[in-house]
Amino acid sequence: MNVTKPQKTYRFFQTFYFFAFFGFGALFPLLSVYLETEKGLSHTQIGLVVAAIPIVTIFIQPLWGMMSDYTRKPRRLLVIAAVMASVMSFAYTWLDGFILLLLGIVGIALFQSAVVPLSDSLSLNFVQVFNKEYGNIRLWGAVGFAVAVFVVGQITDRTGDLSWIFYAFSLGLLLSVLALSSFPKQGQQVQVDFRTGFKTLVKEKTFIVFLVSNFLIFGPVLANNYYFGTFILTTGGTLTGVGIAFLIAAGSEAPFMNIAQKVINRLDVTFVMLICAFISGSRWLFYFFEPSTALVYATTIVQGVSVGLYIPAALLFVRKTAPKAVQATAVGIYSAVGNGMGNAFFTFIGGVLLDYWSVYGMYGFFAGMTFIGMSLLIYIRGGVTIPSSQVSYSE
């Protein structure tokens, strides 16, 4: 192989993540605002619609994985998923009424949920073969997300039309497909006996306690992505302001992801997660006391620490506490509980709290749950220590 080809493919991976997450950044932060202002749904209905995305993801992602293993054509499946999600999101703007809007978002999620796991399978295999760093690919997703929220926030504010979030989502996914031409055809193939792995993991007390902790800590982080736009508008901000806030918040994740391994190498993994949890909980508690818009903007940069460091640290903890034979299953369960169940639960409860309390009360609830999750990490830290100098996020 030409020595320049791996580097060229590396750039194509970065381009794909930039445009794919550009699409995610265009849609998800302003989706709840769109459903409220353009479609007139109640916050409880919005919570149900938005929570449908992670719920669908829990059940559908494994099916995409099985299809990838069976067909051995993850790149082709990725093209199908991205194009179909793009087409369905464009058509979503024509729907009205709670039921149709709920079914429409389920349709989008059926295909959108395949984009990250299939691309991760291809990229993880690539970085292992050519000794590259996954973090330097994934951080371009954070950059694309941040740029999208800022740009689309500007567009929707000036045009007064929130339908642009779906057009930008569609465009981002279509542009990401263009980068797939240089992707390798095969991804990482891992055969796992899920039933055996699950039976083994439920006996691991530390792993189970961590799952509960991650549910309580990272669930509010993901739910915040859907309701932060509503929060900014409530404090007196504008759609452009929402874009600026997400630009700072999501943009700050990239540099912290880039230095995550250096930080983890210096500290115990559980201590890094404790720092991230404390920062997240303190942020939600601060929002509970109804700060000014300017102060809200100032606090968004801490997301770089609470997310950019937490994600690699949590993944590393899972890989090092789970028995080696069931690590793949452990990562899958960790993702389903935090990114799926935690996301769905806190997104739905967030909508209910918005209807029956306030956006400030919602963040107070998020703070309380985060600090409970933090207390579980303290319990884990008392019994488990993983010297970071012995592990590597890029393994």
Contact assessment for residue 291 and residue 234, using Cβ atoms and an 8 Å cutoff: no
CA 235, CA 358: separation in Å to the nearest integer? 12
Structure-token pair, residue 317 = 């903890």
User: 338: Cβ–Cβ under 8 A, 6 or more apart, which residues?
Assistant: 211, 214, 215, 218, 219, 222, 314
φ, ψ dihedrals at 131, nearest 5°: 55, 45
Structure-token pair, residue 243 = 């874009």
Please state whether 216 falls in left (phi above 0), alpha (psi between -120 and 50) or beta. alpha
Report angle CA 79, 60, 127 to the nearest 5 degrees: 55
Contact assessment for residue 189 and residue 308, using Cβ atoms and an 8 Å cutoff: no
**DSSP secondary structure code for residue 337 in this structure:** I
φ, ψ dihedrals at 264, nearest 5°: -65, -35
pLDDT of res. 327: 61
pLDDT of res. 358: 92
| CA-based R_g, the chain, Å | 20
| Burial class of residue 390 (count of CB atoms within 10 Å of its CB; 0-12, 13-18, 19+) | exposed
Contact assessment for residue 215 and residue 341, using Cβ atoms and an 8 Å cutoff: yes
Q: Which domains does the chain have, with CATH numbers?
A: 14-179 (1.20.1250.20), 193-395 (1.20.1250.20)
Task: Output the pTM of the full model.
Answer: 0.76
pLDDT tens digits for the chain (395 residues)?
A: 444 567 777 788 889 999 999 999 999 888 988 999 999 999 999 999 998 988 888 888 777 877 876 777 888 888 999 999 999 999 999 999 999 999 999 999 999 988 887 887 777 677 767 777 666 777 788 889 889 988 998 899 889 899 999 999 999 999 999 888 776 655 444 444 556 666 677 777 888 899 999 999 999 999 998 898 889 989 888 888 888 888 888 778 878 877 777 787 788 888 989 999 999 999 999 999 999 988 998 888 888 888 888 888 887 788 777 776 666 567 667 777 887 888 889 999 999 999 889 999 999 999 999 999 999 999 988 765 444 434 444 44
Name the CA dihedral angle for 367, 373, 378, 384, rounded to a multiple of 10 degrees.
Answer: -150
CA 204 from centre of chain: 26
**DSSP secondary structure code for residue 181 in this structure:** G
CA 164, CA 161: separation in Å to the nearest integer? 6
DSSP string, 46-90: HHHHHHHHHHHHHHHHHHHHHHHHHHS-HHHHHHHHHHHHHHHHH
Structure-token pair, residue 215 = 């549910």
Structure-token pair, residue 347 = 């997104």
> How far are the Cα atoms of 145, 147, 218, 307, 357 from residue 44, in angstroms, in the given order?
26, 29, 21, 27, 12
Element (H, E) at 314: helix 310-321
Contact assessment for residue 40 and residue 163, using Cβ atoms and an 8 Å cutoff: no
**DSSP secondary structure code for residue 3 in this structure:** T
